[in-house]
Structure 1
Amino acid sequence: MNITKSNLFFSWCISLLLVGLLPQKTYAQALKIQRDLVVAKDGSGDFRYIQDAIDAIRVYLPKAITVHIKKGIYKEKIIIPSTLTNISFVGESLDSTIISYDDYSGKGKMETFDSYTLRIMGNDIVIKNLTIENTAGRVGQAVALHIEGDRCVIDNCKLLGNQDTVFASGENARQYFLNCYIEGTVDFIFGSSTALFENCQIHSKSNSFITAASTPRWVVYGYVFKNCRLTADIGVDKVYLGRPWRDYAKTVFIDCEMGNHILPVGWDNWSRPETEQTTFYAEYRCSGSGYKPQSRAKWSYQLTNKEASEYTLENIFSGKQIPKFGVFWQKK
């Protein structure tokens, strides 16, 4: 729609609104943006702030759009609501396009799930070439990325924080982390989603736990790490692959390179021996000095070739039919 047609359209909307033929809500929606946008701190784009751009976008977009984010440090606490879908947020440069905030649990009345820098609730959201950080420091839970949307992709991003860096959640949500760098201290990847981490660097900054999954009982795969590198700060030498936040936690490492900071036992039961009967913690064909399958917790698994072959992207994200309240629920 060119400018002339756009002006005519909005003039027509105003006329209908004035005579009462167009509901105010419909008119407001007509003004919402449904095209590609540019965010730039220097004022050269459509908006200076990312949240302003998000707030201006039409809900339930009929077609995908891209929000291009120019270089700069955007000190914003951002939420993408569940009513926004089909949007890609693409940074100009991974290291120079940074979304930063510093909230943390215990700051006023704030709790863990309020402490995010970026919160994604919408489906079909892509985040690419961005650094997302929580700079609160080692003050407890302080989330950088809180994501509950389904069919979301985090591509070539840096996710920086300490405790609880990435909350990958949503009981029926599927999320794909590709070519990312993720760092933290305690339980820095946690939650209930089905999430595939592929070709990522997972960096531990202290002796602690990498994952704390809370996978629902009916979810098949939980957290899957494929072709990832597990690294650590100098002096860090006692790191567990994971511990179960909830009873049916599922976490699997496939073809990953593990540094010597990974403890031989590999997995922890969070001082709840009963979880050993319900969790599914497994590895397959990993490498590095931290991969010691013969020394792993007796209740963990080493996948067979056949079992490992089932961990394809298509299978992981396909979902599963389960009987619930007499009907079948299925993720699609």
Structure 2
Amino acid sequence: MPSRRTALSLLAGTTAATAALTLGAPGARARTAHPFGRHGSPARRRDPRTLYVDPYGRGDHTDVQSAVDAATGTGRTLVIAPGVYRATVLVPAAREGLTLIGASGDARDTALVYGNAAGTPKPDGSGTLGTSGSASVTVQAAGFTARDLTFANDWLRSDNPEYTGTQAVAVKVQGDRSAFHGCRFLGHQDTLYADSLALTSFARHYYRDCYVEGDVDFVFGRASAVFDRCHFRTLTRTDLASAPYGFVFAPSTAGANPYGFLVLRSRVTSTAPDAYYKLARPWVPSSDLTARPMLTVRDSHLGPGIDAVSPYATMSAGFPWQDQRFAEHRNTGPGARVTVPANRPQLTAAEARAHTPARWLSAAR
């Protein structure tokens, strides 16, 4: 029986207590005779730039980090067989154009996971890891692509009540032109860190058909990030007796960057009581007090878990959400009802024409 620490669900929309598949028990596909599916194998390599990863030794590598280290140069591909890969992974800037593919085509079968938190002590005793250091996977390379993979951080507050640093990042993405297709991001606080390599670097990210779950600020950072047809799931908390439980988005867009987070054709659902979550709050970090966070949510369905009366909140005194770049357009659902117009800034049709993936991701912007 896996410990509670390793029992974060790999099934979208379930909790650790009810999961049918846990991080400690890889699915049956991990033991099939053809672990790499339609993507070839070391014996029938689809091209010389492809490497194969399998925890049972049927590939070129048994762990993801050693495969990343071996994938020198640019434009390499790693095909990853079903299984749970419990280790931190760093994709450095030198691995430009690297692609990671979950071999089965189903992100639930292949998980990259670890369990550090911001308050986890560093091995050398020099302090704690901090938010960035907690990431299970860190991507610094430009042109990175991931398909059909789960990125998870299964550190739990309930197992570590003495911790004050409870941020626990599943993936930190810093590279420009990063794309995720059909991926899942599982955690609690600070699940998906959509970032850039520097304050003056305006990294572009694209997330399509992805699933993200968490509770506090679980999609955050300063990237110019497009979330297209994604599913955001807010989780129940047992450590709080009242609302709010948390916030879906916490952008920290640089003031000079005209493009922050764009969410479109997506949905927000919840396992928590109605109105127990805010849609967003702005993050103005101490490292960039000139940040002016930006979030546009459009053509999306907001479930009853979102507080329709007051969907936004202020994170830091002196930086009210009303002074930031928050806007909505043509959203539906009980969490999108405009009951207090001043609390729900809306784009006009003319303004909305500029809030598109093409504008956010254009190389010529």
TM-score class, shorter: 0.7 to 0.9
Secondary structure of 2:352 counterpart: helix
Q: Match of 2:361, as an amino acid?
A: F
Q: Match of 2:148, as an amino acid?
A: N
| Residue of 182, 189, 193 corresponding to 2:219 | 189
Deviation at 1:270, TM superposition (A): 2.1
| Residue of 238, 242, 256 corresponding to 2:276 | 238
Q: Distance in 1 between matches of 2:323 and 2:332?
A: 26
**Per-residue CA distance 1:303-327 (angstroms, 9 max, x = gap):** 011111112222111267xxxxxxx
Structure 1 unaligned regions, length at least 5: 1-32, 321-330
Q: Distance in 2 between matches of 1:137 and 1:99?
A: 17
- Is residue 248 from structure 1 mapped to residue 292 from structure 2 by the alignment? yes
- Is residue 259 from structure 1 mapped to residue 303 from structure 2 by the alignment? yes
Q: Identity of aligned pairs, percent? A: 29
Q: Distance in 1 between matches of 2:248 and 2:322?
A: 21
| Residue of 333, 336, 341 corresponding to 1:291 | 336
Q: Distance in 2 between matches of 1:293 and 1:319?
A: 35
- Is residue 50 from structure 1 mapped to residue 60 from structure 2 by the alignment? no
- What is residue 100 of structure 1 aligned with on the other side? 113
Q: Match of 1:80, as an amino acid?
A: V
1:220–1:319 Cα contact (<8 Å) kept: no
- What is residue 88 of structure 2 aligned with on the other side? 77
| Residue of 112, 119, 128 corresponding to 2:138 | 119
Secondary structure of 2:336 counterpart: coil
| Residue of 305, 311, 315 corresponding to 2:349 | 305
**Per-residue CA distance 1:168-217 (angstroms, 9 max, x = gap):** 01141000011000000100011100000010000111421111111001
Q: Match of 2:58, as an amino acid?
A: S
| Residue of 80, 89, 92 corresponding to 2:100 | 89
Between structure 1 and structure 2, the one with the greater Rg is 1
The residue correspondences of 1:107-146 to structure 2 (distance < 5 A) are 107-108=120-121, 109-138=128-157, 140-146=166-172
Q: Distance in 1 between matches of 2:114 and 2:303?
A: 30
**Per-residue CA distance 1:208-244 (angstroms, 9 max, x = gap):** 1111111001111200100111000143532111111
Secondary structure of 2:358 counterpart: helix
Secondary structure of 1:245 counterpart: coil
- Displacement over 4 Å in runs of 4+: none
Structure 2 unaligned regions, length at least 5: 1-46, 122-127, 161-165, 237-244, 285-290
Q: Distance in 2 between matches of 1:70 and 1:132?
A: 15
Change (3 A) 1:153 1:282: same
Change (3 A) 1:276 1:132: closer
**Per-residue CA distance 1:230-266 (angstroms, 9 max, x = gap):** 0001435321111111150000100010011111221
* Larger RCO (CA within 8 A; separation ≥ 6): 2
Secondary structure of 1:52 counterpart: helix
1:205–1:236 Cα contact (<8 Å) kept: no
Q: TM-score, normalised by structure 2?
A: 0.75
Aligned residues: 285
Q: State the Cα RMSD in Å.
A: 1.8
Q: Please identify which structure carries the higher strand content.
A: 1
**Per-residue CA distance 1:288-311 (angstroms, 9 max, x = gap):** 01112242544x520011111112
1:249–1:278 Cα contact (<8 Å) kept: no
- What is residue 66 of structure 1 aligned with on the other side? 77
1:280–1:301 Cα contact (<8 Å) kept: no
Q: TM-score, normalised by structure 1?
A: 0.82
